[in-house]
Amino acid sequence: MPSTLLTPHQNRRQFLTTLLVGSSVLAFGGLLGSRPVRAADGPFKLPPLPYAENALEPVISARTIGFHYGKHHQGYVNNLNKLVTGTPLADQPLEAVVKATANPDQTAIFNNAAQVWNHTFYWNSLKPKGGGKPTGALAEMIDKSFGGFEQFKAEFAKAATGQFGSGWAWLVKDGDKLAVVKTGNADNPLVHGQKPLLTVDVWEHAYYLDYQNRRADYVTAVLDGLINWDFAAQNLAS
């Protein structure tokens, strides 16, 4: 995905314009009710949610979103700013920071930068009354790559529930086909030459208040009721 997900000095309108171009902005209804960008002491800002905190209920509660977005995501932004302020990385787009720091010598910066990127991508991978099946070129590639939509869902759910400990499940474009991959902690397909199309967060803070230890129930509910196929299709086309 092009490095337009979050740049150091973007305001809310710029972020929405670059990340959710064209029809996706209309699909979100102009993001009415989304939270404002929070001030941060540094070059990176917490981008707004693309919906109200209670918009994903009953699958994900407003309480979970409040902690997940307002505490965890904000915390990664704050930590990243502390680590890069006064360095050349402070002037780089977020995606460039992720790619530049994917090495053992810069683990702390990578972990926080990647988690800011991953979470922003996750919020946009979901939408109220989502789920269902994709259409068009994305549906065709899913059929070609997995043998059908149900086979894709089963493989994605297996990756999401089988990720040991904290991490992410992703649908990615890998060469001329689609694949399901899982990554641990802050790891991201961008640094492995793959193009993310959508993701589901399987860190415990993403679901524990609502589902406790029932990660499989959370994954199934998200796939069936919240996945934003329009966002995935736009990423495939971009």
User: 10-62, pLDDT tens digit by residue?
Assistant: 333 333 333 333 333 223 222 323 333 444 578 999 999 999 999 999 999 99
Stated pTM of the model: 0.83
**Residue range 87-107: mean pLDDT, rounded:** 96
Q: From residue 213, how far is each of 22, 78, 165, 183, 225 by CA, in Å?
A: 39, 29, 12, 20, 20
pLDDT at 33: 31
Residue 33, CB-side half-sphere exposure with 13 Å CA sphere: 9
Lowest-confidence segment of 26-30, 95-99, 109-113, 163-167 by average pLDDT: 26-30
pLDDT at 40: 53
Q: Is the dihedral of CA 88, 92, 98, 102 positive or negative?
A: negative
For residues 123-136, b (16+ Cβ closer than 10 Å) or e, as one string?
Answer: bbbbbbebbeebee
CA distance 206 to 170: 15
Is residue 7 pLDDT above 50, yes or no?
A: no
Query: Is residue 187 within 8 Å of 114, Cβ to Cβ?
Result: yes
Six token digits for residue 7: 């740049």
Structural domains in the chain? 12-125 (1.10.287.990), 136-237 (3.55.40.20)
